[in-house]
Amino acid sequence: MRNPLYGRDIVSIGDLSKSDLEFIIERAAKLKASGPQPLLKDRLIASCFFEASTRTRLSFETAVQRLGGTLIGFSDSGHTSSKKGETLSDSIRMIASYADAIIMRHPQEGSARLAAEVADIPVINGGDGANQHPTQTLLDLFSIAECQGRLEGLSVALVGDLKYGRTVHSLAQALGHFKPRFYFVSPKALAMPAYIEDSLTEAGIQFEYIDQLEDVIPLVDVLYMTRVQKERFDPTEYMHLASQFILKPEMLERAAEHLRVMHPLPRVDEIHPAVDRTPHAYYFQQAENGVYARQALLSLVMNETVLDSVEGDPADV
Partner 1 sequence: MSEPRRETMLVEAIQSGTVIDHIPAGKGLVILGRLQIKNAQARLTVGLNLPSKGSGLKDLVKVDEWPFTEQDAAELALFAPDATVNIIEDYRVVRKFPISLPEVFVGVFPCPNSNCITHNEPVETRFTVLTQGERVQLRCHYCERSFADTLFTEN
Query: CB of 105: closest distance to partner 1 in angstroms?
Result: 13
Q: Is 84 annotated as a binding residue?
A: yes
The 3-state secondary structure of 140-179, one letter per residue: HHHHHHHHHCCCCCCEEEEECCCCCCHHHHHHHHHHHHHC
Tell me the β-bridge partners of 10: 124
Work out whether strand 206-209 and strand 123-128 pair parallel, antiparallel, or are unpaired: unpaired
Catalytic pick from 2, 79, 83, 84?
84
Q: Is 136 annotated as a binding residue?
A: yes
Q: Is 227 annotated as a binding residue?
A: yes
Q: Residue 96, Cα to own-chain centre: how many angstroms?
A: 24
Catalytic residue list contains 150: no
Catalytic residue list contains 56: yes
Catalytic pick from 8, 27, 43, 56?
56
Q: Which is nearer to partner 1, 93 or 179 (CB)?
A: 93
Catalytic pick from 43, 105, 169, 294?
105
Binding site for partner 1 (CB under 8 A): 12, 14, 87-89, 106-111, 113-114, 117, 128-132, 195, 198
What contacts 285, CB < 8 A, 6 or more positions away?
Answer: 143, 146, 147
Reference 260, options 225, 227, 228, 291; nearest CA is: 225
CB 252 within 8 A of CB 280: yes
Q: Is 55 annotated as a binding residue?
A: yes
Query: CB of 193: closest distance to partner 1 in angstroms?
Result: 10
> What is the chain's length?
317
Query: CB of 81: closest distance to partner 1 in angstroms?
Result: 14
Q: Is 27 annotated as a binding residue?
A: no
Q: Which is nearer to partner 1, 128 or 146 (CB)?
A: 128
Q: Which is nearer to partner 1, 76 or 237 (CB)?
A: 76
CB 88 within 8 A of CB 96: no
Work out whether strand 44-49 and strand 70-74 pair parallel, antiparallel, or are unpaired: parallel
Catalytic residue list contains 169: no
Q: Which is nearer to partner 1, 68 or 129 (CB)?
A: 129
The residues annotated with a catalytic role in the active site are 55-56, 84, 105, 133
| Residue list, annotated binding site for L-aspartate | 84, 166, 227
